[in-house]
Structures are given as structure tokens and as C-alpha cells.
Chains A and B, each alone.
Chain A
């Protein structure tokens, strides 16, 4: 009984998270270059991605643009990217997985690509969309429940 009460207390926030139908998404356009230069301080939160394969060949990461928007469930939202193309994001659903973790299901559409991804609450989807001005263009999309 005592243990059950404690479990109920500790699991309450996870249950409450499952109720919302909006997420806040930020799309950062990152220019990755092989020349020395370091990580832009604005990209500090992405260091856990930028310092790992397949990005270790790059020595400079510079933020070119940042766009943030609230996404309503099942409503497509377009982000104009620095290379002139459009990234479309759709928040499909929020779910609690078998390990009681909050997960967000996001549909990502970019010219030539259509992908559905399941991410942690606040996680960043890394998508490299090709070459850009002597380097590569990385779109880092972070989504979090509100």
C-alpha cells in the first residue's frame, strides 16, 4: 500500500504529460565546415550530437538561422530554410511508451524525403540535407511538449 502510494506520486507527472496536443518546435540551420572554428555557443545544446560520428570530420558548426513555432496536432507547419527549400513538420501524436516515457511522433518532409520519427520529449532530430557553401547543411529540429 505504502509502496503503491509512492509509485502513484512519482508517476503522476508522466501521466499528466499525455494530455496536451501541442508541441513547440525549433528548427536550427547549422553550417558544418571542415575548417577549424569550433562550435557556435548558440549550438551548445547540440554538442552531444555534433561531437559524435558522423560529424567528427567537421571542425566548425555555425548557426545560420533559427525558427521556432508551436505545432498543433496533425497540422503541417512549414519552415523556410536558408537554402531556399522548405521543411515541413507535422506533430502526429504524443504517447507514453512501454517504459513509461513520453514520446512524440513527428512527420518530417523535405524535398525528396518523407520520414516519420519517434523522439523523446525535448529531443533533437538531426537531418543533413546536403552540401551548402563549402560545407554541409544540418537541420536540427528540437520539439518539446508545452
Chain B
């Protein structure tokens, strides 16, 4: 069983009612790839939460800003070049800088989630299902190679001339 993305996300967010949640839990119990997808969602959330927390603790306090403003008021007005230089430095040195790795982390996790999602699909892409067989003068035997990833598996069709089949 492969759980749908929106079901998994709603389960993760705690949005499902009890019966739907139980159904998802049964699906998770049967499917290792789905459990990995759920774990990826958890990791993504905790990393984003951790980065945001770090940003809030490293931001200058209000008291510090008051002191800075006071010192600035005493001095001369900086030139345009100085202001641009400081603004550029602030962009890279301030809390905003943290959003660059945070965004990259989120992008990497989304990619990892997509890849985790494509992993079992790649295996399932091997599926071969016979929908109909018609024979004339041959005997057709079907063998089934099971798919370890939970897909339909591969059906092997083996034909032998009827006379050859009769001899066996």
C-alpha cells in the first residue's frame, strides 16, 4: 500500500479523524517507504523549527538597539556609501543570513522527500501485468515474479507448441 501525499501530510499535521488516522497507521505498519516519508516530514519540521529558534536567540535585543540608535544620533550622518556598505554587511551578518541555510535545508529536505517518494516508484515501475491472453496452437503458462517493494510484480509468459506441451 502506498499512502497518498495529502493523507500522509494530514496525518502528520494531526488533521485526520480517528478512523482515518487508524487506516494510515495500518498503512504505515505495512510500508517501510511510507514510514521513511513520514520520518522525512518530521525531520523537515524539526530542522526548520531549530533554525528559526536559533535566529530569534541571535537577534540583537531591544535594549541593544536603543543604545545603537542613541550612539548614531550623536555622530555625523553616514554617507550613502557607508550606509550601503553597512546594509550589505547586515544582510549577510544578521539573522537574515540564517534563512539562507534554512531555505537550502528546506529545499534539500523537499528534494529528499521527493526522492524517497520516487524510490519505491522506480521499483514498482518494473511491474508487468497480463490483462488478456489468447492462444492458437500454443500453450501459455504464466509465472509470477513478486515485487519486494510491494508492487504488482512481473508476469512472465512462457509459450510452448501444443504438441511439445503434450509430450511433457
Contact = CB atoms under 8 A, between A and B. Distances in A.
Interface of A: 3-4, 6-7, 9-11, 48-49, 52-55, 99-103, 105, 110-131
Interface stretch (B2-10, B56-64, B67-75): B2-10
A112 B138 contact: yes
Interface of B: 2, 4-6, 9-10, 13, 110, 113-114, 117, 121, 124-138, 140, 143, 145, 151, 154-161, 164
A49 B10 contact: no
Contacts of A131: 164
Contact of A10 (B113, B129, B145, B151): B113
Contacts of A126: 128, 154, 156-157
Contacts, number: 113
Contacts of B143: 53-54
29 contacts: A7-B9, A10-B117, A48-B126, A49-B154, A54-B143, A54-B156, A55-B156, A99-B2, A101-B121, A112-B137, A112-B161, A113-B157, A115-B132, A115-B133, A116-B131, A117-B130, A117-B155, A119-B129, A120-B151, A124-B126, A125-B157, A126-B128, A126-B154, A126-B156, A126-B157, A127-B156, A128-B158, A130-B161, A130-B164
A105 B155 CA distance: 14
A3 B6 contact: yes
4 shortest A-B CB distances, which residue pairs?
A120-B125, A112-B138, A3-B9, A128-B158
Given A3-B9, A112-B137, A101 B155 contact: no
Nearest to A112: B138
A106 to B, nearest CB: 9
B130 A115 contact: yes
A9 B155 CA distance: 33
Given A49-B154, A99-B2, A126-B156, A115 B134 contact: yes
A136 to B, nearest CB: 8
A24 to B, nearest CB: 15
Contacts of B129: 117-119
A7 B6 contact: yes
Contacts of A117: 128-131, 155
Contact of A120 (B114, B127, B135, B155): B127
